[in-house]
Structure 1
Amino acid sequence: MARMALGVSYDGASWQGWQTQPHRCTVQDTLEAALARFMAQPQPTICAGRTDTGVHALGQVVHLDGVAERRLESWVRGVNALLPTTIAVQWACTVPDTFHARFSAVSRTYIYVVRHARVRSPIVHGRVGWVHQPLDLVPMQQAAQCLLGEHDFSSFRSSQCQAASPIRTMHELQIEQRGDFFIFTLRANAFLHHMVRNLIGALLYVGQGRQPPQWIEILLAQRDRRLAAPTFAADGLYLAQVEYPAMFGLPAPSLQTLFASHLGFCANDS
């Protein structure tokens, strides 16, 4: 018997978030039901980060205990055969008892994809955010620099957030344009509830010319959620990658590989 880690991806538009709920229309409930059938016993899981309704995952990580020894490929193929098409195990790896999907994580990376176009697209509906107003990349990149490092992110924290502290460290925040798509990449030690969607809303205000880049720095200092921009839609948000110490030996595909394999629709420059 051992502890197993699984890499999981899912289309969050079909689900009411990750965390188990009484109605059982969540990713966790559906994954655990498939695991219970695969293992012929109830199988609880622990995840790296709980995603909200409509939020997707390219690289969610979960762990589970008390698993029988099987070929790793059998875990992937066998569990996926019991899952709906909107959820898929990408890899499986045996890990030591010291590994914990949440507490062993060094950082988490989210990607937000915004499509900038005059008219909405039904083809990528639910998979990207949409902005039809003029959008300027450079001011958003300037504003993003204010968010790097350790800060009190109270101005970007949901009122329902249960975290003990609003202090987080932003390691990376990059914004690039690929044709009609703006790609936001955010990597931090951890994120507060709705923090990414609140940051995207504020950065888009800057990109639309509604606020100057320095406004982001002012919001950080004010520590008041009421003064910031509205929470942006969940559609374009992806939990892209969770980083762990190398000693655990987990698969670690690059962000570029993940992006190309799952989000090829916005990979071409123009």
Structure 2
Amino acid sequence: MHLLEQAAVFLLTAVLLVPLFQRLKLGAVLGYLGAGMLIGPFGLGMIGEVESTLQFAEFGVVLLLFLVGLELQPSRLWVLRRPVFGLGGAQVLGTGAVLAALALAFGFSWQAALVAGFGLAMSSTALVLASLVERKQLATRHGREAFAVLLFQDVSVIPLLALLPLLSDSGTHAAGGWIAAAKGLAVIAVVIISSRLVVRPVLKAVASYGGREVFTAAALLLVVGAALIMEKIGLSPSLGAFLAGVLLADSEFRHELEADIE
């Protein structure tokens, strides 16, 4: 199917189903999910190239997380440290332990049970945040607590990736896991430092000497670059975009970046 034809199918299905789901008070997120199921390969089969479609969808999630990060200044994020590590840690450890115990009861090995348990303990950041933003509940108490849990889940991927190879009998794989985790932490540190020393001066120069279109391109490059760096080291691209947004939330370019991305 041609690109324009695919776009027409996407838009038509969304226009028909999303208002219906909202009228039924099911939310726009479920409406978009229903639209995807309807036209996807397991529905009417109108869209067959799923991989290319997923790439566009993931880019939308990356932009969403960047905008959410722009709304959270580092000082506000520090205030959330208790729910992030307390509530988030309790959710991941508690849910992972319960699911791992169920897997053991069904005859899985303890290694497979741990992998399945903690893997299924993770949630979809994109779906939950989209629902909270749609219902304007992100600033509420339960919205902040839900966001704290999601943030801990994204961050906990780093130690979980390091622990997974330890379940193998190969010492080489175990060492590789710790090296991968160290790389992840190092890259996050580099992103934090470069946002102060490199990104802000570059944005200032672009804002001074470039046009509005150039600044918009620079903003998109920033989001894509942060997401790409995280993806290259095996972490969530959304985490990179969110981190970039948080680091620029207290800059003088916050509102301009938000307007350009939206």
What TM-score, normalized by structure 2, do the two folds share?
A: 0.27
Q: Name whichever structure is richer in helix by fraction.
A: 2
Q: Name whichever structure is richer in strand by fraction.
A: 1
What TM-score, normalized by structure 1, do the two folds share?
A: 0.26
Larger radius of gyration: 2
